[in-house]
Amino acid sequence: MEIKNSFQMANSIKPLSLTPNFILPEDKRPQLAQISPLASIPIIDLNDHVTSSLLQKISQACEEYGFFQVINHGVSEELCEIVMTAVTQFFELSPKERAEFFTEDITKQVRLFNYYLKSEGQEKVTMWSEMFSHPWNPVDDFSHLLPQNPPQYREAFVEYAKEVDTLMHRLFRLISQGLGLDKDCLQKRMGDKPRLRAQANFYPPCPDPELTLGLAVHTDLNALTVLQQSAGVTGLQVIKDGKWVAVDPIPNAFVINLGDQIQVLSNGRFKSVHHRAVTNKTHPRVSLAMFYGPNTEDVIGPIEDLIDDEHPPVYRRYRYAEFLEKFYSQEGTRRMVKELFELPK
């Protein structure tokens, strides 16, 4: 990656530097010295031909971590590299070219933006990162929505969407079976027109990673996320037993994490876990998340087969549009959205 330290945000007129608007209050700083050196999240080989063994590993990872990495996932290694190169080259475009996509309007289908946290006095602390979000679809043509520059971005993403969609369907089947449900159960709950979003994340090198975050602590609002990380640069961290654990990139692997909708559908059995991205001094980092969630009109709630006298419903049913509304109303905070839909105990 050839991006220099003089990265310039698309909405800025000067190169990035560690100005006060990026510096977190002390209680929100990442405390990097306290990162757990324990083993990271599980690594699962999808080529495991013993179905019972694979289901047990998936089920255990979903219950205990809410995160796992998959290898032998069926998505072409070459295609993964082409897409990550295209994403990296997008962030290498001039700030002026990228600024064409910059917006704070969350209703825009294609948007370049920065996350922020509200601190005391409602001042915004900007995250040390820039994000590019747009739709993806395995069947319908979405390429006209994508940047024309870099030249291979559109073509690469169309192919990538098809292969990642195949992987998503397989993961939904495995997770459904891990819950003891019919293999098509979760996929059906996503409806005929799922909400499919891609988000490319760019984290420039930071002079003092102890003072900033690339991405604040959050859970994913959707159902399932497939994440590709750039090689050799660690930034993603997840909470396990109250401690932060680093998720180091593994060659030719995807990070899989469960979103809030799977926690609700599984009646709390499978977990959507808090995670964050930290920065580092020397290397830029790129990641690419593919999100799969319900349509806004879909009704989400605990699956009936998972409810009995010993396991009463933990959440009420809701339209996904209602969940999204609550999600966006908590912009800039450590969002707690699914908790709003918990039933009284």
The whole-chain average pLDDT of the chain stands at 94
Q: Return the percent helix, strand and coil in the chain, to nearest 5.
A: 30, 20, 45
pLDDT at 5: 55
Identify any residues that bridge with 132 across adjacent strands, giving them in sequence order: 112, 200
Task: Tell me the per-residue pLDDT of 120-162, one tens digit each, with 9 for 90 and over.
Answer: 765 899 999 999 999 999 999 999 999 999 999 999 999 999 9
pLDDT at 12: 92
User: What gap in Å lies between CA 166 and CA 223, rounded to an integer?
Assistant: 16
pLDDT at 3: 44
Task: Tell me the per-residue pLDDT of 54-63, one tens digit each, with 9 for 90 and over.
Answer: 999 999 999 9
pLDDT at 118: 84
Which letter does DSSP use for residue 189 in this model? Answer: H
Contact 136, 157 (CB under 8 A): yes
51-64 helix and 153-178 helix, angle to the nearest 10 degrees? 100
The pTM for the full model equals 0.95
Given a cut of 50, whether residue 1 has pLDDT beyond it is no
Identify any residues that bridge with 124 across adjacent strands, giving them in sequence order: 118
- The sheet carrying 195-203 orders its strands as 43-45, 67-71, 254-258, 224-229, 285-293, 195-203, 130-135, 111-113
**Per-residue pLDDT averaged across 14-31, rounded?**
93
Q: Which of 37-51, 100-114, 179-193 has the lowest mean pLDDT?
A: 37-51
Phi, psi of 137 (to 5 degrees): -160, 135
